[in-house]
């Protein structure tokens, strides 16, 4: 109950990448009001509908407050019961230590989901536990999302986290492929209030061109939208590069002094004409030539691609080609183009640059990246017998049953695991299999600093906020869970435990040693950020090359042998069977994967889990909106409500990501009422980007039929 005392708190919304500043008013232990912080130098008062959901998350009656232990009630039937923290931590440590002693560290599998990067305690203190468990069977949402970005940044710029960021506020021409920032609020691009920024681009005479198989919310705002056949973006980009060389438009400017490989790139695209690309993409050759010329002649321009081009069979090739376009046109490391950030806590300086293909998965020989295997091989590593078979699964802030390809197979495989531990506040479709669930505090009960997203922001800023509410008695923060588990596992394995240092002290040390720290006039520290609760503006992005490059010789590398070989794989790819449709995903501004569906403010209104299909295709099949259709792929089938929409390109259908709730043993009353169907019950774990190992969840071949249950 509220005691009536009203307080005002400053906070950053952590529910997506945008880092919007909030002002939260509370009365006692109740949230009274959430609104945008006008003084935040990055978000400038903007918020999206997700911000108000922080109250729903905090007050959610289904959110776990105490550890749960799974007990069998009958053959094949289980329930989760609450236990005390000491018992839960001891049971978890016993299981981990026993598994390692009996089968080795690779018998422990670990999967970390999207929210882990939004909660800084998980980032700072996972190592307290996993320094004792250097398993090769580690997975994350990275390989169902942005792995191609990391791989290309490693190859071209020398560090997996050195991503060029679109400088939308100063650009004149923006070519955007497979991205919908009006729904996502930016992705690998922290860009709050993106609608206004894109409108400002157009109002100053600039041009926004969106290429997407669906006319998205962003495409509706664009100066021009072009439909493209899913999975063929590489053809468009390679043909554009061909045009740049053919027509003498390659002008890297200052980049020429520290760029290698342009001649090899020219040779690789010599035969990849706009006419060749038109036959694959569905975009006219004249339009491909025109866009290449427009981008090359722009005073400042950007080529940017996101989920639609990353999560397809040629994701890494696409991301490489995007960087080649930006370099060849001289728009990289240029105001109004794409620039590298210079954040207060610099992950590029403070972390390992990453590595690739140092070992491979046992089942399918897929390459590791940054000591993680692709998520598409989790089931193989659970079921493939022998040394290194996963016997204990550890998940953190993830729901891979709904968010990775062929989720049904993973759902079944998790029941075959000998033991499972989850650090998660939800009893969801994945954690229902866990023998132990260890729930951390709510987001409003811990402090916050965005370690990851300041590295991706359109402006250099820094912001730290204390918790809104005190930690409840008997609760543990996520970092405290990892620290306690690390100490217990170390004790059982006779190893030295890592010292437990609160994350705010780690952040403070990094800020003081960073580019705006004790040796500068900024004197940045946690205490200084506390005195500026809306954040501190550290200035716009600036050209920083070649100094910012992390390659051994501080030169941009474009002639990547693996990528040049992948061009030949793309050219030899098979033709799409005429009787198939291509399935793509989609997002809504109120959605952020599966973990946002148990909150009334985000789920109210019309159902969003429908199959979108072009009206001409609907008429051709003899169907109508509202009926139920069966969607069949290699791995299975689902039934979904059909909705005719001229947003869709012909031959392409779309389902949203993250649905499929209400399975037995879960706890989510609102999510259950909006259960929908999981698109990942028909995405295919064998359909991947062979170069990177990333999942290809866009462009999946499916067949449609009227549902027998209709």
Q: What is the pLDDT of residue 416?
A: 96
Q: What is the pLDDT of residue 575?
A: 66
Give residue 161's pLDDT band: very low, low, confident or very high (50, 70, 90): very high
CA angle 339, 344, 348 (to 5 degrees): 60
Q: What is the pLDDT of residue 591?
A: 81
**Statement: residue 710 has pLDDT above 60:** no
Q: What is the pLDDT of residue 595?
A: 74
Domain range 147-342, CATH class: alpha beta
Q: What is the DSSP letter of 19?
A: -
Kindly report, residue by residue over 628-651, the tens digit of the pLDDT.
999 999 999 999 999 999 999 999
Give residue 276's pLDDT band: very low, low, confident or very high (50, 70, 90): very high
**Statement: residue 1 has pLDDT above 90:** no
**Statement: residue 2 has pLDDT above 50:** no
Q: How far apart are CA 93 and CA 88, in angstroms?
A: 9
Q: State mean pLDDT over 53-79.
A: 95
Tell me which fold the domain 571-706 belongs to: Barwin-like endoglucanases (2.40.40)
* Mean pLDDT, the chain, whole residue set: 96
Q: What is the pLDDT of residue 709?
A: 66
Q: Are 182 and 217 in contact (CB under 8 A)?
A: yes
Q: State mean pLDDT over 144-158.
A: 98
Higher pLDDT, 118 or 313: 313
**Statement: residue 684 has pLDDT above 50:** yes
Give residue 579's pLDDT band: very low, low, confident or very high (50, 70, 90): confident
Q: Are strands 301-305 and 173-177 parallel, antiparallel or unpaired?
A: parallel
CATH code: domain 68-143+349-445+469-513 is 3.40.50.740
Kindly report, residue by residue over 388-441, the tens digit of the pLDDT.
999 999 999 999 999 999 999 999 999 999 999 999 999 999 999 999 999 999
The 3-state secondary structure of 22-72, one letter per residue? EEEEEECCEEEEEEECCCCCCCCCCCCCCCCHHHHHHHCCCCCCCCEEEEE
Q: Which residues contact 68 (CB under 8 A, 6 or more apart)?
A: 80, 81, 82, 83, 427, 434, 436, 437, 439
Q: How far apart are CA 590 and CA 628, in angstroms?
A: 24
**Statement: residue 285 has pLDDT above 60:** yes
Q: Which of 156, 170, 172, 195 is nearest to 48 (CA)?
A: 195
Instruction: Tell me how far the alpha carbon of residue 66 is from its chain's centroid.
Output: 28
Q: What is the pLDDT of residue 605?
A: 87
Q: CB 186: neighbour CB atoms within 10 A?
A: 26
Q: State mean pLDDT over 32-60.
A: 94
Residue 474: strand, helix, or coil:
coil
Domain segments of the chain as ranges: 68-143+349-445+469-513, 147-342, 571-706
CA atoms 185, 188, 189, 195: torsion sign: negative
Q: State mean pLDDT over 118-142.
A: 96
Q: Which residues contact 521 (CB under 8 A, 6 or more apart)?
A: none
Q: What is the pLDDT of residue 596?
A: 84
């Amino acid at each position: 109950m509220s005691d009536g005392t009203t307080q005002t708190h400053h906070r950053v919304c952590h529910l997506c990448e945008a880092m919007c500043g909030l002002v939260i008013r509370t009365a006692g232990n109740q949230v009274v009001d959430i609104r945008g912080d006008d003084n935040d130098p990055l978000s400038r008062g903007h918020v999206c509908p997700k911000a108000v959901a922080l109250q729903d998350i905090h007050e959610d009656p289904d959110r776990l407050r105490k550890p749960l232990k799974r007990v069998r009630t009958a053959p094949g039937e289980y329930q989760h019961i609450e236990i005390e923290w000491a018992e839960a931590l001891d049971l978890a440590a016993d299981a981990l230590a026993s598994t390692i002693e009996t089968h080795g560290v690779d018998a422990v599998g670990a999967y970390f989901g999207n929210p882990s990067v939004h909660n800084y305690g998980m980032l700072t203190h996972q190592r307290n536990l996993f320094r004792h468990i250097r398993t090769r069977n580690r997975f994350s949402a990275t390989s169902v999302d942005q792995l191609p970005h990391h791989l290309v940044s490693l190859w071209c710029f020398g560090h997996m986290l050195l991503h060029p960021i679109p400088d939308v506020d100063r650009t004149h021409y923006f070519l955007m492929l497979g991205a919908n920032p009006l729904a996502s609020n930016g992705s690998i691009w922290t860009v709050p209030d993106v609608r206004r920024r894109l409108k400002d681009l157009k109002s100053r005479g600039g041009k926004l061109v969106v290429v997407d198989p669906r006319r998205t919310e962003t495409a509706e705002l664009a100066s021009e939208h072009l439909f493209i056949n899913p999975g063929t973006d590489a053809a468009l980009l390679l043909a554009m590069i061909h045009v740049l060389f053919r027509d003498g438009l390659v002008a890297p400017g200052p980049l020429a002094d520290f760029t290698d490989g342009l001649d090899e790139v020219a040779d690789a695209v010599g035969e990849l004409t706009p006419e060749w690309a038109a036959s694959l993409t569905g975009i006219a050759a004249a339009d491909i030539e025109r866009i290449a010329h427009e981008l090359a002649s722009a005073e400042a321009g950007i080529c940017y691609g996101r989920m639609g081009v990353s999560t397809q069979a040629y994701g890494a090739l696409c991301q490489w080609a995007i960087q080649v376009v930006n370099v060849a046109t001289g728009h990289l490391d240029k105001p109004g183009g794409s620039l590298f950030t210079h954040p207060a806590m610099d992950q590029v300086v403070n972390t390992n640059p990453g590595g690739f293909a140092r070992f491979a998965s046992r089942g399918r020989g897929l390459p590791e990246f940054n000591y993680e295997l692709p998520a598409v091989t989790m089931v193989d590593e659970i079921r493939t017998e022998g040394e290194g078979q996963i016997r204990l699964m550890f998940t953190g802030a993830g729901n891979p049953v709904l968010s990775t390809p062929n989720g049904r197979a993973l759902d079944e495989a998790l029941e075959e695991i000998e033991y499972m531990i989850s650090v998660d506040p939800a009893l969801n479709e994945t954690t229902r299999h866990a023998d132990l669930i260890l729930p951390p505090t709510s987001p409003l009960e811990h402090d916050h600093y965005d370690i990851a997203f300041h590295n991706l922001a359109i402006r250099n800023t820094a912001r730290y906020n204390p918790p809104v509410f005190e930690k409840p008695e008997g609760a543990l923060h996520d970092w405290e869970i990892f620290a306690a588990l690390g100490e217990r596992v170390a004790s059982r394995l006779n190893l030295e435990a890592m010292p437990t240092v609160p994350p705010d002290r780690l952040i403070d040390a990094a800020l003081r040693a960073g580019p705006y720290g004790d040796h500068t006039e900024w004197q940045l520290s946690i205490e200084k950020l506390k005195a500026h609760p809306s954040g501190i503006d550290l200035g716009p992005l600036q050209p920083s090359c070649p100094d910012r490059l992390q390659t051994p010789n501080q030169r941009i590398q474009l002639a990547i042998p693996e990528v040049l070989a992948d061009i030949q794989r793309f050219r030899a790819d098979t033709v799409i069977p005429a009787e198939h449709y291509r399935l793509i995903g989609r997002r809504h501004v109120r959605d952020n994967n599966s973990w946002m569906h148990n909150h009334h403010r985000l789920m109210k209104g019309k159902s969003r889990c429908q199959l979108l299909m072009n009206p001409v295709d609907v008429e051709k099949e003899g169907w109508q909106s509202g009926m139920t259709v069966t969607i069949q792929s290699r791995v299975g089938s689902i039934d979904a409500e059909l909705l005719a929409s001229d947003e869709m390109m012909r031959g392409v259908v779309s389902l949203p990501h993250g649905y499929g709730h209400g399975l037995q043993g879960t706890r989510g009353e609102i999510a259950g009422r909006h259960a929908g169907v999981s698109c990942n019950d028909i995405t295919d774990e064998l359909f991947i980007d062979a170069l990177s190992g990333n999942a290809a969840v866009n462009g999946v071949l499916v067949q449609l039929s009227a549902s027998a249950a209709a």
